[in-house]
Amino acid sequence: MRRGLIAAAIAVLASAAVVTAAVAKTSEPAGLAKADCTSSTLGFMGPLTGPAGFLGQEQLSWLRFGVLRYNTASGTKFKVAPGDTQLKSPVALTVGRKFAADDNIWAIIGVSESQGNVVTGNLFEKNDLVMVSGSATRTTLTTPGRPYKTFFRVVPNDSVQGPTIVKYVSGNLKAKNVVVIDSQDDYSVPLAQGVTRGLRARGAKVARESVSADDTDFSSIVANVESNVTVVVFATQVASAANTLSNQLREQGKKAIVFGTDGAYSPSQFKPKSGYVSVFGPDLHFDPAARKLVREYNTYSKNRPFGSFGPATYMAGLVAMTAITKACADGEADRAEITKAVGGTNIPSIIGKNITFTRSGDVKGVDFLIYRVTNGKYSPVG
Mask: binding to other proteins, 253-272, rule CB under 8 A, as x and -?
x---------------x---
Measure the CA–CA gap between 321 and 315, rounded to whole angstroms.
Answer: 10
The answer to whether 180 touches 235, Cβ cutoff 8 Å, is: yes
Query: Rg of the chain's alpha carbons, rounded to an integer?
Result: 23
Amino acid at 97: R
Question: 53-74 and 291-301 helices cross at what angle (nearest 10)?
Answer: 110
Among 268, 277, 279, 278, residue whose Cα is nearest residue 304? 268
State the minimum distance, in angstroms, from the CB of residue 382 to other proteins: 27
Q: Judged by CB under 8 A, does residue 343 bind other proteins?
A: no
User: For residues 42-81, which are near other proteins according to CB under 8 A?
Assistant: 48-51, 53-54, 56-58, 60-61, 64-65, 68
**CB closer to other proteins out of 19 and 289:** 19
**CB closer to other proteins out of 87 and 319:** 87
Q: Judged by CB under 8 A, does residue 32 bind other proteins?
A: no
**CB closer to other proteins out of 115 and 322:** 115
- Tell me whether strands 368-374 and 377-381 are parallel, antiparallel or unpaired: antiparallel
User: For residues 279-308, which are near other proteins according to CB under 8 A?
Assistant: 300-302, 304-305
Measure the CA–CA gap between 32 and 134, rounded to whole angstroms.
Answer: 25
**CB closer to other proteins out of 66 and 156:** 66
User: For residues 161-190, which are near other proteins according to CB under 8 A?
Assistant: 184-186, 189-190
The answer to whether 85 touches 91, Cβ cutoff 8 Å, is: yes
Mask: binding to other proteins, 10-29, rule CB under 8 A, as x and -?
xxx-xx--xx-xxx-xxxxx
CB proximity list for 215: less than 8 A, separation 6 or greater: 183, 241
Among 146, 202, 250, 340, binds other proteins (CB under 8 A): 250
Among 274, 177, 174, 165, residue whose Cα is nearest residue 225? 177
The answer to whether 128 touches 116, Cβ cutoff 8 Å, is: no
State the minimum distance, in angstroms, from the CB of residue 323 to other proteins: 24
**CB closer to other proteins out of 81 and 351:** 81
User: For residues 205-224, which are near other proteins according to CB under 8 A?
Assistant: 208-212, 214-217, 219-224
User: For residues 117-156, which are near other proteins according to CB under 8 A?
Assistant: 118-119, 122, 138
